[in-house]
Structure 1
Amino acid sequence: MAKHDQKDKIKNLLDLEAQAGPIVTITIPLNPKEDNTRLDQIQTDSLVKSAKAAFQKLYKPELWKAYEFQISNYLKTLKPNATIAEGVILYVTNDALVSYNLNYTPQPEFSISDKLPVLPVVKQLEFAPNFDMLFLQRDSYKLYSVNDLNITDPDNVPADPFDSDKTETNTIKDPKQNGPEWDTHEYFEQVDKYVQKRYSDVDHNPLVLVANAEDAGMFKKASHNPYLVTDKSVAIDTAVKNAGENYKEVAQKIHDQFVAAGKQAIKAQYSDMLGAKKATTGLDDIEQSVLEDRVANLIVADHAYVESKDNGETVDVTTSKGARSANELNTLALTVLGLDGDVTVLPVEDMPEGAPIAAILRW
């Protein structure tokens, strides 16, 4: 599995329902741009206390100890780092804790349920793969990797492809001196070989180019990297010598490009399938199609809610809405994922016919 295959990450969450006890879900907004860790901590402590109080009303109070132990250990690791995440979601059971960074600001909420609230993670992972960013100039380059919204520098000191592999330096003696033997095309070829061999061929992540327009065009002609993305890039001015200093903003722009492209692809696919009579927005039709394993892609509006048909057996408790039945749309999403279908969360304004739910059918 490629490391940017996000569908498997979502499906792996389904194993949590087999764990002992109910699932406690906590969504925590973060302030990465302001780095207001003190405010984050106060808000998080309040959420955990509220979740504890609600849990102990529903279950034996002593059962909370196992949850509290895992949450406390996790929060010790929640420290500022290079990230574009604006929130985090925790799924906690009696003997497991799974967390995901979120690239949107969630409401500070908790819920307690027998069923996994999967839609917040679907919203995060569906369109945005992990990716590498190559900041390229004619005499230097810098590579960053974005994994689960965290940005890392694979090399503390960027390696020079000419110094690191002497077999590739025969035709260029000193490329950074811009001397008579300088060949930009060949320099870009060597950078391309180096990045592909040591990064792309290892992680299989999309490689997005960050360069000025002229250099980007030259690099794409010189590159033989099959992971180089040709329809997404970020342009930088030739005068920017330390372009890597704004790597967070660039990573956000690239992430947004992947998300925008994914949304457009889903909308186009739905339109095509509607013309072929393989799409619907009827809730009853969708529920029957889910039972018959005919749903290829379940499309849910962000924050949409339909009361569960479990007669209140599964309870959702949140700080903003109080106690209510579980979300039937979440239940449908879990079923579709379990049957190897896809689930997509779209903004309300992008939903087909403005419906809270839609489906692309297999047949």
Structure 2
Amino acid sequence: MDILVKNDLNQLMQQRDAGPFIAIYLNTDAVLNDLNQRRLQLKELVATAEQQLAQRFPKENFRPFQVQFDRLAADNSWWLQHTGPQTGLIANAHTLVTFDLQTPTEAQVIVNSMPAIRPILADRQQQFDFDLLALNETSMAMYQHRESRLIETPLPADAPIDLKTTLGTEKRGGDLNFNSSPAHGVNYHGHNAKAEEREIDQRNYYQQVDQYILDHYSKSSQRPLILIGLPHNQAVFRKLSKNPYLSQHLMLDQSPNGLDLPALQEAVKPLQDKWHTQLTDILLSRYDQAQSRKLALADPFDMIKPALAGRIDTLIVASNAQVSGTLNTTDGSVDTDLPLPDNLIDDLVDEVLSKQGQIRMIPADRMPTETAALALLRY
């Protein structure tokens, strides 16, 4: 029996022909369940898996699966490491792979010839990671949004944290005095505080901020950079920015002054819904374009041969997709006479992913036609 591997979807896909697979998705949130309750939940789900395996694959021995699940259940350190909303366990007779999920769903068991990974893909699609630049006229702060949590990024001493330190004697505004308030940010007064010179200073400062964020964060993370700041400050920054990762559609038009981390976390919540809506719009636009070029399919049974041939670039799946049948990858046939309900969509997902295709989940009510899936073909 191989050691447990965490969150390694690529390794799992390499073993997709070594089924059958048992997929168990259990709730592991330490706040909601104590350890004994979580162990009991796993025991009940394993018992369900044994029943399903006996019905679907009567010649398979459940013992190798049982050994792996028992070892995991007895491992206190494993339970302490997995306290998120949900954990996925996917096992064949030789290997058990674990996945941490951030979006809680109903606990479930899926026994199939190929690994049932749709809950994992849906969870990863829900996780909208981005960098957040909090922009004031004369200062900035950096945050990272990872796995639904906003974390302030500690900036080194050479970072352009504020205008006065960054520009120094290069300031065009002359001898200025500063005072600030949480509501209005920095105010200027002094004998040379001309509006034009302030604007020059702001542009020069923003250019350095833009280059610093691009060089030290965006190039390496390749995640969207979202701005929070007053509309005027954002307009100045966007006009001069050369950062290709700066989001043109997602932004927060409000001053970050006076917002602590919990307040910022609350402020960014609407961004995720907006991002998912825009992503769905883009996918459906791609489907319309592919359809006009006769490179789109809307019947899951018509997708089998293209999937096996590696012709599907993107498989768009409705959130509640269910099509009875299991795919035989050797000849492309579909078996619908099964002792337990099976889902052809899960098999298509595995096949497309193994051929370097993309999987995207969208709400069922956004599908342009009554179908469980849409396919965009490469050729």
CA RMSD after TM alignment: 3.7
Correspondence for 1:73 among 70, 77, 83: 77
Partner residue of 2:355? Answer: 339
The change in CA–CA distance for 1:258 and 1:89 in structure 2 (over 3 A counts) is farther
Partner residue of 1:194? Answer: 212
8 Å CA contact 1:145–1:151 kept in 2: the answer is yes
1:226 aligns with 2:223: no
The residue type equivalent to 2:216 in the other structure is R
1:270 aligns with 2:287: yes
Partner residue of 1:47? Answer: 41
8 Å CA contact 1:88–1:101 kept in 2: the answer is yes
8 Å CA contact 1:168–1:190 kept in 2: the answer is no
8 Å CA contact 1:127–1:258 kept in 2: the answer is no
8 Å CA contact 1:66–1:95 kept in 2: the answer is no
The residue type equivalent to 1:149 in the other structure is S
Residues 221-270 of structure 1 show CA distances to partners (whole Å, capped at 9, x for unaligned) of 243323212221112247x5225432323343222232222111111111
CA distance in 2, matches of 1:163, 1:125: 36
Correspondence for 2:222 among 204, 218, 222: 204
The residue type equivalent to 1:48 in the other structure is L
CA distance in 2, matches of 1:167, 1:301: 50
Correspondence for 1:215 among 214, 233, 250: 233
8 Å CA contact 1:289–1:295 kept in 2: the answer is yes
1:309 aligns with 2:313: no
Q: Percent identity?
A: 19
Equivalent residues in 2 for 1:1-363, closer than 5 Å: 11=10, 13-15=12-14, 17=16, 22-28=21-27, 37-39=31-33, 44-55=38-49, 59-60=62-63, 61-69=66-74, 72-79=76-83, 87-93=85-91, 95-102=95-102, 104-126=103-125, 130-155=129-154, 161=160, 169-172=168-171, 178=188, 180=193, 183-237=201-255, 240-242=257-259, 244-309=261-326, 324-363=340-379
Q: SS of the residue aligned with 1:305? A: coil
Residues 51-73 of structure 1 show CA distances to partners (whole Å, capped at 9, x for unaligned) of 23334555224443234256x53
The change in CA–CA distance for 1:284 and 1:52 in structure 2 (over 3 A counts) is closer
Give the Å deviation of 1:343.
Answer: 1.9
CA distance in 2, matches of 1:216, 1:110: 48
Give the Å deviation of 1:45.
Answer: 4.3
Gaps of 5+ in 2: 1-6, 54-61, 180-187, 329-338
The residue type equivalent to 1:88 in the other structure is Q
CA distance in 1, matches of 2:88, 2:322: 21
CA distance in 1, matches of 2:303, 2:265: 40
CA distance in 2, matches of 1:164, 1:138: 8
Residues 129-175 of structure 1 show CA distances to partners (whole Å, capped at 9, x for unaligned) of 53101122224322111234343322189975268997853414889
The change in CA–CA distance for 1:29 and 1:276 in structure 2 (over 3 A counts) is farther
Give the Å deviation of 1:355.
Answer: 0.9
- TM-score, reference length from structure 2: 0.73
The residue type equivalent to 2:86 in the other structure is V
The change in CA–CA distance for 1:101 and 1:236 in structure 2 (over 3 A counts) is farther
Q: SS of the residue aligned with 2:25? A: strand
CA distance in 2, matches of 1:101, 1:196: 30
Gaps of 5+ in 1: 1-7, 31-35, 81-86, 312-322
Q: SS of the residue aligned with 1:169? A: helix
CA distance in 2, matches of 1:167, 1:119: 48
The change in CA–CA distance for 1:244 and 1:196 in structure 2 (over 3 A counts) is farther
The structure number with the bigger radius of gyration is 2
Q: SS of the residue aligned with 2:233? A: helix
CA distance in 1, matches of 2:205, 2:266: 27
CA distance in 2, matches of 1:169, 1:75: 53
8 Å CA contact 1:337–1:343 kept in 2: the answer is yes
- TM-score, reference length from structure 1: 0.76
8 Å CA contact 1:47–1:109 kept in 2: the answer is no
The change in CA–CA distance for 1:55 and 1:162 in structure 2 (over 3 A counts) is closer
The change in CA–CA distance for 1:91 and 1:63 in structure 2 (over 3 A counts) is closer
Q: SS of the residue aligned with 1:353? A: coil
Give the Å deviation of 1:362.
Answer: 2.4
* Relative contact order, higher structure (CA 8 A, sep 6+): 1
